[in-house]
Structure 1
């Protein structure tokens, strides 16, 4: 079995999720939100904005009102980051926002079916950005 380093990275620089690849500041989120949504899916809205960096950056917004359980919110963030890492996006800032409830408080917090659906939606959103903005 292959082991990972302490930060979860396998040593491949392009597949990590270092701080440089994250949108963390409020004003950075705001500047991306000011633009119109690039793409919508059943549960998500993707906002994008070109950046001046050599790589793409990601921000994820998962509101409690749409995913009441922390385990569900964390799963959504984890799946989003995983797909972002493996999708070769051009130099853009992406903010993925959950826009509809994914499950209720009385059902299971996460299921394999839910993860598969979310993964499929997010894959389509990220793929649309590769087609829409070819790398310069």
Structure 2
């Protein structure tokens, strides 16, 4: 699976090292939803990077954790984010071990929450489209 292009999720777009996760976690959360917390930190790369944390205590079934990661990566790839390190952390239980692992309703709810998180990080287009004020004429 070597997808080259703007919608890939190559290793350079991932946060993988423990110290990279720690440096982003040290900052305050940028945004919270019912189930997720988003942490961000500006980076010096030409693109955004993503880390996903889905703890077993909040999603006991592996299929649920994998669904969360898959939806998060998909929305991250299609979002136009500035150069940020983003960590999405599951912060509340999404289901129980006895309940269904994934349902279309759960997937839709998670997709809406994650889309809201990434949308909150879009660059402000209104401020950048006006540009700097013109210099005064002599």
Is 1:29–2:21 an aligned residue pair?
yes
- Indicate the residue corresponding to 2:134 in structure 1: none
Which residue is 2:66 aligned to?
Answer: 74
Does the aligned pair in 1 maintain the 2:76–2:118 contact within 8 Å? Answer: yes
The counterpart of 1:87, out of the listed 71, 74, 79, is 79
Residue among 73, 98, 105 paired with 2:97: 105
The answer for unaligned runs of 5 or more in structure 2 is 129-138
* TM-score, length basis structure 2: 0.88
Query: What pairs up with 1:1-136 in 2 under 5 angstroms?
Result: 6-7=1-2, 9=3, 11=4, 13-131=5-123
Find the aligned partners of 1:112 and 1:30 in 2 and give their Cα distance: 33
Task: Tell me the TM-score normalised to structure 1 length.
Answer: 0.89
Instruction: Name stretches of at least 5 consecutive residues in structure 1 with no aligned partner.
Output: 1-5
Alignment length (residue pairs): 127
Counterpart secondary structure, 1:130: coil
Cα-to-partner distance string for 1:52-72 (whole Å, 9 max, x where unaligned): 000000000000000000000
Give the structure with higher Rg (CA).
Answer: 2
Alpha-carbon separation, structure 1, partners of 2:124 and 2:61: 34
Name the Cα RMSD after superposition. 1.6
Q: Secondary structure at the match of 1:78?
A: helix
Whole-Å Cα distance in 2 between the matches of residues 64 and 112 of structure 1? 21
Alpha carbons of structure 1 residues 107 and 132: separation in structure 2 relative to 1, 3 Å: farther
Q: Is the 8 A contact 2:81 2:123 kept in 1?
A: no
